[in-house]
Amino acid sequence: MKILIVSVNAGGGHTAAMYSLVLSLQHFAPDVNVEYFISPHRLLEHMHRLASTKGSALYNAFYKATVHSTALRQAYFGVTYPSIRSFRSELAPLLGEYDAVISTHFMQTYALLKAKHSRGLPTKIIAYVPDFDHSCIHIPCYAGLRVDAVIAQSPLLLSKLVQVYDFAPERLQCGGFLPRTPFTDVRALSAAQARERVAAWDMPLVSHLRADAFTVVVTGGTYWTMGLYGVLKHLASCPADGGPPVFTRPVNQILVVCGHNTRAYRAYSHLRHATGLNVIPLPFLQAEQ
């Protein structure tokens, strides 16, 4: 059996899911010939960064609305048609070479369905949903053609697919992540060693990191990084047991990996300066970091 896994840079979770699937198949199904393809398309990545930094409130409202509206989901695919056309031109020539193609981004899934429909190929199309939400935008349909199976992180989404779209349970699988070696290597480090390694990086504010402090690490991804801002702002002013706020004390600190979200990086830097909260924002990090 020959399987292709396709992905695109639109936030690190999609490519992380791809690599996880490759590792999983190589480990648990060694007889399967598995390959992967990362689209060279860059517009989607730029759109993702713009949505997460400049128009996050508007994008979030629209995205949530797609949970309940088929029309809005179709409108989304209409607006993003140039990207879908690009994905289709990349993937259509590959489709007939594989027994199954697994897609980790819904726009590529949509492009694959269009290519399968137009060429009349028997190739199975499987959607992998790395996000923990339950919008059916992740499971597109084209000309009555649906994906053959779904792998998703969210049990709620899988349950919804059974109830709303009559997916057979055997076509659904709850997914997880197998991390790559650069991520697992750090497990050999003690907590203090890991903090010392981070403190040695040539980055603003990391020199304030204490190797002996209790550390909370936030790695929510570019889009979700600002989700905790209100909570951390509250922590900065909320006294504990009559004393100063817990995370303004030197024995506690918070690391926030902001990725490419420059708005979040500036916001957390200002929060640290204005409130004394021991929060240390970090920019985009490579896997080995």
The H-assigned helical ranges of the chain are 12-28, 43-53, 56-65, 70-79, 81-95, 106-119, 155-165, 181-184, 191-199, 229-235, 262-275
Average pLDDT across the chain, whole number: 84
Domain ranges of the chain: 2-174, 185-282
Look at residue 288 in the predicted model and tell me its pLDDT.
Answer: 63
Model pLDDT for residues 189-228, shown as the tens digit of each residue: 888 888 888 888 888 888 888 888 898 888 866 667 888 8
Look at residue 76 in the predicted model and tell me its pLDDT.
Answer: 75
Residue 253 contacts residue 209 (beta carbons within 8 Å)? yes
Span 226-241, mean pLDDT? Answer: 81
Whether 160 shows a pLDDT value over 90: the answer reads no
Span 240-259, mean pLDDT? Answer: 82
Look at residue 223 in the predicted model and tell me its pLDDT.
Answer: 66
Look at residue 35 in the predicted model and tell me its pLDDT.
Answer: 96
CA 41 from chain center: how many Å? 17
The angle that helices 56-65 and 70-79 make with each other, rounded to 10 degrees, is 130
Sheet of strand 214-218, all strands in order from the earlier edge strand to the far edge: 214-218, 252-257, 279-282
Bigger pLDDT: 51 vs 261: 261
* pLDDT band, very low/low/confident/very high, at 289 (cuts 50, 70, 90): low
- Domain 2-174 sits in CATH at 3.40.50
Give helix then strand counts, H and E, for the chain: 11, 9
Span 5-10, mean pLDDT? Answer: 90
> pTM score, two decimals?
0.76
The angle that helices 81-95 and 106-119 make with each other, rounded to 10 degrees, is 60
Distance CA 218, CA 237 (A): 20
Span 44-65, mean pLDDT? Answer: 66
Percent of the chain exceeding pLDDT 90 equals: 33
Whether 233 shows a pLDDT value over 80: the answer reads yes
* pLDDT band, very low/low/confident/very high, at 287 (cuts 50, 70, 90): low
Look at residue 47 in the predicted model and tell me its pLDDT.
Answer: 66
Model pLDDT for residues 8-54, shown as the tens digit of each residue: 987 678 888 899 999 999 999 999 999 999 998 776 666 666 666 66
Percent of the chain exceeding pLDDT 70 equals: 88
Model pLDDT for residues 86-117, shown as the tens digit of each residue: 999 999 999 999 999 999 999 899 999 999 99
